[in-house]
Amino acid sequence: MTDDTNGVPFEEQYEILEWPPNSKFGHNPTDTVPSQPNTLLGDREGVANFLHRELSTKRLDDMYSMLFLVSKRDNVSPLHHQVVKGRRIIITERPDLHLVWYYDRIFIKPVPSYLFSYSFYKNFILGVETEHELHAAACGFLRTYASLIIHETDFNIAKQTGLLPASIDWETWCRYMKQIAHIKDTQVSRRYHYGELRLTRLNFYSKVFFFHWSYFEVHHQYVEYFARFMGPYLFIFGALTVILAAMQTALTADPNGRYQSAAYGFCTFSIALTVAGLAFFPLLYLLFQVQELFLFLFRRQKPK
C-alpha cells in the first residue's frame, strides 16, 4: 500500500484499469465515469453525487453506536464459506446493504470498475470537497474484499456471480489486493469497523433506537409479514392452554387448595391476552391501510 494513508490505497503500478488511456480528465466533455456512460466527468457535482450514492455508508455510520448488537469485528467469511453456510449471494448496488445477511442470503455489492483506476481514484474520489467521507467509504468497501476473496475458489465464485469483471485474472487480483489488505480501521468508514450485519437485528434495533419502521423491508406482501407472527403466537397460545389445563386438574383434585386464587388471576390474564391477540392482526392490517392511504394522498400524488 502507498505510504500516504490519505492517498490512493494502492500504487499506480498495481491498478487493474488503466483509464483514461489517451486523454486527461475533463479534456473531452464526452468522457464518462468508467462503465457509467450517463455520468459525464465534466459535471463534477454530478460525479460527486453519483459517488456518494454508490459508496456512502452514512446511514450505517449514524447507527454505529448499536452495531455491536448486530455484528462483530472481522467476521467477514470468504465467498466459498458463504456457500458452506447455505447462503445465496445476492447482488446489490446499495452500499448500505453490502454484507447484510438475512437467513439464507447475503447481499454483496460488486466492485465498481472505477475503483480499479488509480487516476480516477486520485482525481475524483480524493478530488472532491468531501473527499474524506468518500475515501473512507471506498477504502472500507475494498477492504471487505480482502476477506471475501482469499482463495482462487473465492475468486472464481466472484466472477461467476458478477462481483468482479470477467476480464480480471487471479494473479492481477492478488497483486491489487495485497495493497488493499493493509488498510486500517482509522482509514475506513465506521460501518466497516464491523463485518457482516444481521438484517433481522438491524430491523429490530432500528425500531428500538431510531424509531424507523425497519432498516430494510424484506416482506412485500401482507401474507408474508403476518406469517412471521404465527410461530410465536401459536407457541404462546399452546403454553397458555397447557397451564390452564394443569390448573384445572389441580382445582379438580383440590378445590380449596392454593391454586384457587392463582387460577382466577391467570384466567383473567389469559382471556385479556387472547382478546388482545385476536385484535392485534386486524388493527395491524388497518394501520397498514391507513399508512398506504397517507402515502397515496400526501406523497405519491405530488407532481414531479
Q: Is 5 helix (H, G, I), strand (E, B) or coil?
A: coil
Higher pLDDT, 21 or 288: 288
24-29 mean pLDDT: 56
Cα–Cα dist 243/112, whole Å: 58
- The pLDDT score that the predictor gives to residue 98 is 97
Higher pLDDT, 32 or 99: 99
Cα–Cα dist 112/39, whole Å: 14
Higher pLDDT, 168 or 20: 168
Cα–Cα dist 146/110, whole Å: 13
- The pLDDT score that the predictor gives to residue 3 is 41
Query: Do the Cβ atoms of 10 and 179 come closer than 8 Å?
Result: yes
With a CB cutoff of 8 Å and minimum separation 6, the contacts of 125 are 51, 55, 131, 134, 135, 138
Cα–Cα dist 260/151, whole Å: 67
Query: Do the Cβ atoms of 143 and 74 come closer than 8 Å?
Result: no
pLDDT tens-digit map of 267-297: 888 888 888 877 877 777 777 677 767 766 7
227-to-64, 198, 222, 281 alpha-carbon distances in Å: 31, 20, 8, 11
Give 145's strand partners. Answer: none
For residue 73 the three cell numbers come to 469485528
174-187 mean pLDDT: 92
pLDDT tens-digit map of 228-271: 777 777 888 888 888 888 878 877 777 776 777 777 777 888 88
Query: Do the Cβ atoms of 164 and 155 come closer than 8 Å?
Result: yes
In the chain, domain spans: 12-210, 222-298
Query: Do the Cβ atoms of 25 and 121 come closer than 8 Å?
Result: no
Q: Is 32 exposed, middle or buried (0-12, 13-18, 19+ CB in 10 A)?
A: middle
Q: What are phi and psi of 173, to 5 degrees?
A: -65, -40
- The pLDDT score that the predictor gives to residue 143 is 96
pTM to 2 decimal places: 0.78
- By DSSP bridging, strand 105-108 and strand 88-91 are parallel
12-32 mean pLDDT: 71
pLDDT tens-digit map of 43-95: 888 888 999 999 999 999 999 999 999 998 889 999 999 999 999 999 999 99
pLDDT tens-digit map of 119-174: 899 888 987 655 688 999 999 999 999 999 999 999 999 999 999 998 999 999 99
Cα–Cα dist 76/82, whole Å: 9
